[in-house]
Structure 1
């Protein structure tokens, strides 16, 4: 249903077009980018040492999603981030398929022991997806201003290698 392809700057315009404004950018990337999102910001992001970035490609060849893993200094854990599904592909299982491949890569190929992430508490669909994949709440951070006049708390979630690969997500490397 989805294949992982390394994210390239050729994909940047497509991914940037999925983000309609500063509020959506803050929801996707926190304070890591500024509006308007441009190729220079994405080029710096892709070049970050220790970051793996992918584009999800659907069976028909169109780009349907994006995700990244940033390795921790110890090499045993990583932070899942910048997860985004194309607006016209949402609600069709692409997010789950994309993240299953990313997590399989992290645990099976990189030998990670833990994957962590942060998500705004108001992002209900993302929180539900992460919970279905096995992530558990580790900490709730106080509400902060997202730069658009709205404030939201952030949830820190974590998935241990020992809790991954339930039968419903078993994928061989």
Structure 2
């Protein structure tokens, strides 16, 4: 377990340098951010994502999980304001801090903050089906599998299946209380 409590804050430009070396291969980067990013991850790509957090109806929320002032986690929620839907994405725990039980409390707080906005009814996510640790974490927070898109991503010569999970506002408080 971490020596200090996990704090969740908005991801900022100051966090970018800490995150650039988190993904040691193209496969690790694609697993985190999808096939549209360049390897190695560049600051300009995170800057472009961060620019989408501005305004009264931003395109995304970006979160930083901090332990002892060090960037321990990152998550984003892409926002569909018209339909009241968010897509949890680009979730990662700092490789130097993995195995310390940070993912679940970090994502619990991210989900809590997302549903604190009354504009949103649904939080969904895509996860590659081989990512069993992430799937266990999402399920423990109340996300339900809604389907699998088979062979949906091509990474090098490999094809990956993507599972779709969803959580509705009405399901969240019940799950949040029972999983604490």
Q: Scaled by the length of structure 2, what TM-score is found?
A: 0.87
Report the counterpart of residue 158 of structure 1 in structure 2.
166
SS in 1 for 2:73: strand
How far residue 88 of structure 1 moved from its aligned partner, in angstroms, is 2.1
Write the distance in 1 (CA, Å) between the matches of 2:141 and 2:85.
17
Write the distance in 2 (CA, Å) between the matches of 1:96 and 1:111.
24
Equivalent residues of 2:23, 2:40 under 8 A apart = no
Q: Deviations over 1:98-146 (max 9, x none)?
A: 1111100011235421100000001110011101111011120021343
How far residue 74 of structure 1 moved from its aligned partner, in angstroms, is 1.5
Q: Deviations over 1:76-109 (max 9, x none)?
A: 1100011000112212221111111110001123
Equivalent residues of 1:145, 1:151 under 8 A apart = yes
- Paired residues, number: 169
1:41-56 maps to which residues of 2 (within 5 A)?
Answer: 41-48=45-52, 49-56=58-65
Unmatched 5+ stretches in structure 1: none
Q: CA RMSD in A?
A: 1.6
Report the counterpart of residue 55 of structure 2 in structure 1.
none
Report the counterpart of residue 17 of structure 1 in structure 2.
21
Q: Decide which of 6, 9, 22 is 1:2's aligned counterpart.
A: 6
SS in 2 for 1:31: coil
Unmatched 5+ stretches in structure 2: 53-57
